[in-house]
Structure 1
Amino acid sequence: MGSKNKLKRFKENETFDNVIQPTREEVTNNFPLKGNWHTFFKNENPIVLELGCGKGEYTIALAEKNPDKNFIGIDIKGARFWRGAKTALENEMNNVGFIRTQIELIDLIFAENEVDEIWITFPDPQIKYKRTKHRLTNSDFLKKYHHILKEGGVVNLKTDSEFMHGYTLGLLHGEGHEVLHANHDVYKDYYSPEEVTGTQTFYEKQYLEQGKPITYIKFKLKY
C-alpha cells in the first residue's frame, strides 16, 4: 500500500464515527469509555473483541451473524481496518466499532468484567524466544484478558502457526486453564464451530491455498 493511500485512509478514519483513535496518553489517563462502552453502542448487549483484527473481515462477519452482540476490532494499523470500518458504515451496522491502539493497553480501555468474548485471529507467533513477551497468548496477556472478561467469558485463538497453537496449549494446561475445544485442522474436524469455519480472512485464504492447516483453541481462563 502506497504512503499516499495510507494517509488517505488515516484521514478518512478520522471521519468515521465507528473508529476510535486515542493517544497513548488518553488511554493511560482514565480513558472515558472504560466501563462505559454501552454509551458508544447505545445498548447493553454483550461485547466481543477481535485482537489484531487486520482488515476487519472477522469482526464484520461475526457482527453480521450476531446482531444482538457488539463487536470491536483492535489493531495498531488503522490503514488496514479502514476497510472493515467503511464496510460497517456502508451496511449501517451499528454493532461494530474499531480501535487503533496497542493490544497491551487493553486493560486500560476496558473495565473489569466488561467483555464477554475475545477472538485472536492469525496473530504473529513471535517465534524467537526474545519475542515471547509479544505473543498474544503469553501469561501477561492472559492475565489482562482475564481481568476484562466476565465470569465464564471465553477466548478463541485461530492460527495457521503450529508453533503458536502448541505454545498456547502447553501454557493453558500448565497454568490450569480450561480448554473447551482444540484441533489442528478446523476444516477436517466435524466438530469445528461454524463461526470458525464459516468465515475466512484475507490471510487465511492465502494460507489455505498454500496447504497450511488452520488450528483453533477455545478456552476459559482461571486464576
Structure 2
Amino acid sequence: MTNEKHLSHKQSRPFQPTKLSKPRNFVIPEILTNKQKSSPPIVIEIGAGKGMHALSFAKQNPDKHLIAIERTRNKFEAFSKIADTQQLANLTPVHADAIAWIVQAIAPNSISQIYLLYPNPEQHNPNQQWLNMPFFEFLLSRLQTGGKIVLATNIEQYMANAQEQAGTLWCLPNTRAEVPANSQRTHFEIKYLARKETCWQLTMVKPKGYQTRFDTWQVS
C-alpha cells in the first residue's frame, strides 16, 4: 500500500477490504477480464435502481461500457427484465452490494467514471454518506487519473457536506451545478424536478499523481 506520509487526502480512518467476502453468485464480467487496448472505457453506476439512467446511458454512449450495480432485489429484477429485452452489449447489470462487489471485481486505476445518482441521504447516520465513508478512498483507487465521480441529490445540506468533504478531506478538484429542470436521468430526478425542487450535481475529478492506500491492492 501507499506510504501514508504521501497520501493525497486527509482521511485517517483506513478502509479494510480484506474483511469483505465475495457477494453471492459472484462472477467477474468478461469486460473486466478483457486486456485488449481496444477495450472501451468502463463506467460504474452505484445504486442503479430500476435502470432508467443505465439504459439511457448505454444507448447514448455505445463507445463506453456501463456496469450498473443495484442491491435491492425487486428493483434489480425490474431493471434486469428491461435490460434483457433491449440487449445492450455495452451494459452489465449487477445484483450485489456495491462495496463488496467493487472490492472483489475492480482493479486499480481501471474506471473512467462513477455515478452516484440520488443516493440515500442517510440523514440520521451521516457516517454512511459516501464521502464520509473510508470506502471512498478505495473507490478513488479504482478510478483512472482524470476520471470523474458524479454525485446528484435534491438535498441541499447533503450537497453542501459532500462538496466540503470533496475539497477539504479528499482534496479533489470539484464543481457544483444545478441539474437542468428538464433532466430525466432517474425516476427520483423526474419526481423532484416535477415538484419544482432544486437538484444539484457535484462532479469530482481525480488529479494526476493522486495517491491512496490501495493503489496497488488487489484481491489475492
1:89-104 equivalences under 5 Å are: 89-104=84-99
Matched, 1:173 2:167: yes
Q: Which amino acid aligns with 2:103?
A: D
Structure 2: any 5+ residue segments left out of the alignment? 1-19, 212-220
Q: Which amino acid aligns with 2:180?
A: Y
Q: What is residue 200 of structure 1 aligned with on the other side?
A: 185
Matched, 1:159 2:166: no
Matched, 1:85 2:80: yes
Q: Structure 1 residues 57 and 143 mapped into 2: Cα distance closer, same or farther (>3 Å)?
A: same
CA separation in 2, counterparts of 1:111 and 1:198?
A: 32
Match of 2:114 among 118, 130, 149: 118
Say how many residue pairs are matched: 183
Structure 1 residue ranges, 4+ long, deviating more than 4 angstroms after superposition: none
1:30-49 equivalences under 5 Å are: 33=28, 37-39=32-34, 44-49=39-44
- How many angstroms does 1:97 deviate by? 1.0
Q: Structure 1 residues 166 and 65 mapped into 2: Cα distance closer, same or farther (>3 Å)?
A: same
CA separation in 2, counterparts of 1:58 and 1:157?
A: 13
Structure with greater contact order relative to length (CA < 8 Å, sep ≥ 6): 2
- Secondary structure (helix, strand or coil) at the match of 2:122 reads coil
CA separation in 1, counterparts of 2:134 and 2:64?
A: 27
Q: Structure 1 residues 140 and 25 mapped into 2: Cα distance closer, same or farther (>3 Å)?
A: closer
Aligned-pair identity in percent equals 21
Structure 1: any 5+ residue segments left out of the alignment? 1-23, 189-196
Q: What is residue 179 of structure 2 aligned with on the other side?
A: 186
Q: Is the Cα–Cα contact under 8 Å of residues 109 and 144 in structure 2 kept in the other structure?
A: yes
Q: Structure 1 residues 34 and 72 mapped into 2: Cα distance closer, same or farther (>3 Å)?
A: closer
CA separation in 2, counterparts of 1:202 and 1:209?
A: 11
Q: What is residue 53 of structure 1 aligned with on the other side?
A: 48
Q: Is the Cα–Cα contact under 8 Å of residues 23 and 97 in structure 2 kept in the other structure?
A: no
CA separation in 1, counterparts of 2:123 and 2:89?
A: 37
Q: What TM-score comes out, normalization by structure 2 length?
A: 0.74
- Secondary structure (helix, strand or coil) at the match of 1:187 reads coil
Q: Structure 1 residues 148 and 34 mapped into 2: Cα distance closer, same or farther (>3 Å)?
A: farther
Q: What TM-score comes out, normalization by structure 1 length?
A: 0.73
Q: What is residue 12 of structure 1 aligned with on the other side?
A: none
